[in-house]
Amino acid sequence: MRHLFLSILLLAAFASAAQTDSTATHGKFHPYEKKSFLFTLGVGFADQYRTELRLPADFKNDQVTGFAPIFARLEYGLTKHISIAFTAMYDNFYDNYDQLFYGNGETFKRFYTDDVRIFGGTVAGYYHLDKYIQVRNMDIFAGGGLSLNNIRHSSAPQTDSMSTIVFSHSLNLYLKVGMRYFLSAKTAVYADLGYEKQSILNIGLSYRFYKRSKIAALLPASK
């Protein structure tokens, strides 16, 4: 699933780069532009909810299976160097574990599968460093904000040797540095790295669009 998603992103990036772009043809563009919108779709790696699973003493971890987190982000260029963004992220994985029992002079195991589903929302602000780091077609930025994650366990282990459905919430600090490399005026490949519990590393594809007034300003005046 993860490899399929990455393949789709790469194909979309190359297809977008091959298209004729009206803003690139008729007007100059910059990697970061005020009053533009950026939509990013991507996949996350290094999910701490998976790697930091803890079970009561009577239970033992077996294997964690499932998919990589996916995210969608809408970002708006608020000022010359500052943008704001909302990110929605979904994660689903299966925590397979077992419990050791003793009875009638024998030892046996009982196996469980906990279907873990996480839906998260992040609000963040980004400072774009094009004033200090000038690389052609590249937008380098640093951001900070807060993430609220809603977590559902279908069969969470309990200290009384039982498992049950559990709902919880997690509020986390969001701190990231990242970059976009624009393949055209509208399309860019995306990556960020930092602390955000649902994924430490994200990669994806961004698409830029404008308000109608901005599009009109980019096009040549009619004669």
Q: Which residues make Cβ contacts (< 8 Å) with residue 15, sequence separation at least 6?
A: none
- Picking from 168, 205, 176, the residue whose alpha carbon sits closest to that of residue 190 is 205
> For the segment 54-97, what is each residue's pLDDT rounded down to a tens digit?
887 778 888 889 889 999 999 999 999 999 999 999 999 999 98
Answer yes or no: is pLDDT of 126 > 70.
yes
pLDDT (0 to 100) of residue 212 = 59
Of the ranges 8-22, 101-115, 199-213, which is most confident?
A: 199-213
Q: Which residues make Cβ contacts (< 8 Å) with residue 79, sequence separation at least 6?
A: 34
Residue 33, burial from CB neighbour count under 10 angstroms (0-12, 13-18, 19+): buried
**In 10 A of CB 106, how many CB atoms?**
7
Handedness of CA 117, 55, 174, 170 (dihedral sign): positive
pLDDT (0 to 100) of residue 104 = 74
Q: CATH topology for 2-19+37-218?
A: Porin (2.40.160)
